[in-house]
Chain A
Amino acid sequence: MLGFGRQRATVVVTTAPIRMNNDQRHFFYRKLHSLLGVLPLGGFIAEHFVSNAFILGGQKSYESAVGWLLNMPKPLLWTLEILTIAAPLLFHGVYGLIIARQAKNNTGNYSYARNRNFMLQRLTSFYLLVFIIYHVWSTRFTGHFTTNYTPDRIDQATGLIQSQQSIYYFMLEKLSGNWALGAVYFLGVASAAFHFGNGMWTFCIAWGITVGKKAQDNARVVFSGIGLALFALGTATVWHLVSTPNPFKV
């Protein structure tokens, strides 16, 4: 430096903007894992629970609620599915397992509610990973898109339409009277609602949104409420499908 006066700021010019060392990569992955949990995954799970709750209004209500998704041009649907669900879920799930493995849970000696929720966040993630693989495989990759129904039979008593196009009928056939699968779905709904609510709460700390104790307590009330609402919606949806008789069952 030549100047005797003000010290000149050093300007670092990097040729590759996305070249990270180990520490930067670790920080970036953790932040990405946290962010993806909220957007798009948290947004998707809320949409998924709300849309599916239209099942409570019966076949017409459900099919008009999810029709925009089913009628979407396929390339657009696939792009959305990959970008907003599959890819984020894969990263969040796999990297989340690495994070969960690091914890040595100690709720026996330190049985605080927060510590138990910390453990539950990890336990629900294990269940969700297995459940979501089954759920996606059985609804997206097999079933509705490959099953052959007798086209357009109408049950006079219920007005229920059995057809290749009916996603309501597809879900009903899967879950109607099947209490064991209903329990699997109930656990999935409960795990997802908890993981979402607790995850939103920790997200607010991890990004420095809720700093003080009071703010964190208030956020707990808000996200417990949203989590419980999702849990109630999901449970009602599963209950409806399991308890509604399938008139076409032979």
Chain B
Amino acid sequence: MANEPIKIRIKRQPGPGVASSWVDFEMPYRASMNVISCLMEIQRNPVDASGKPVDPVSWDCSCLEEVCGSCTMVINGRVRQSCSALVDNIRKERPGEPISLEPMTKFPVVRDLCVDRSRMFESLKKVKAWIPIDGTHDLGPGPRMNEVDRAESYKLSECMTCGCCVESCPNYNEDSKFIGPAAISQVVLFNSHPTGAMNAGERLDAIMGEGGITDCGNAQNCVNVCPKSIPLTTSIAKASRATSVRMITNLFDR
């Protein structure tokens, strides 16, 4: 099996909102290939498995080292980055079958494997995933952070908004307004920052409504598929605690 030609089956869609179809491709094996190098091979010689010329396959990629998240797609039924999906490994998942590539199912398809992840960006805007420090005068140096908190925050800051968590989340779909684990984790990240904490209430308010923290159903796929091993379920529980406390104190404080 090792040096056999690589068979790939790609779910293709010529444009937004039109029907998709599966197309088979085949190419000679080379050592150490990843899914991106396979797609580049198709780009060089855009013919399907029967030798018929086809349009080159569209896909997104940038960093090629699993830190940008742009090449995320569904490979053999599981969402992940195509740059770190090595052919030698993923061929073993379904022996004898072609490698299957699909665009993520939770976002509108732009073309072939390219999707529009605006919904994730909108969620980040909704939860104010930033620290407002712009002003007309020098605000001075920010407060220092202790090392333990810094280490925890660093892990959360590795999120690249790739979409794996929301793709695998059963509660994130076109019928729900759920903002997903990534955005909730960013609330925890920015609320744990000493300067960011000054706007903690606003971020909590943003997730205390429809599509917010209560729409998590604890299927916990997110933490299992996250390529950066971000403790998303811990972030969700922390946000749950903060919003529960806020709900109760709101009852008595206002």
Contact = CB atoms under 8 A, between A and B. Distances in A.
A59 to B, nearest CB: 43
A210 B218 CA distance: 12
Contacts of A109: 77-78, 168
A8 interface: no
B17 interface: no
A28 B237 CA distance: 18
B54 interface: no
Nearest to B218: A202
A86 to B, nearest CB: 24
Contacts of B145: none
A206 B245 CA distance: 12
Nearest to A22: B210
Interface stretch (B3-11, B20-28, B220-228): B220-228
A205 B237 contact: yes
B26 to A, nearest CB: 25
Interface residues of A, number: 39
Given A102-B173, A112-B221, A27 B168 contact: no
Most A CB atoms within 10 A — which of B170, B171, B239?
B170
A211 interface: yes
Contacts of B245: 208
A102 B237 contact: no
B176 to A, nearest CB: 5
B30 interface: no
A89 to B, nearest CB: 20
A200 to B, nearest CB: 12
A81 to B, nearest CB: 28
A25 to B, nearest CB: 9
23 contacts: A24-B208, A102-B173, A103-B170, A103-B171, A104-B170, A104-B173, A104-B175, A114-B218, A114-B219, A114-B220, A115-B170, A115-B219, A118-B219, A205-B218, A205-B233, A205-B236, A206-B216, A208-B238, A208-B239, A208-B240, A208-B242, A209-B241, A213-B231
Interface of B: 77-78, 168, 170-171, 173, 175-176, 208-210, 212, 214-221, 224-225, 231, 233-234, 236-245, 247, 254
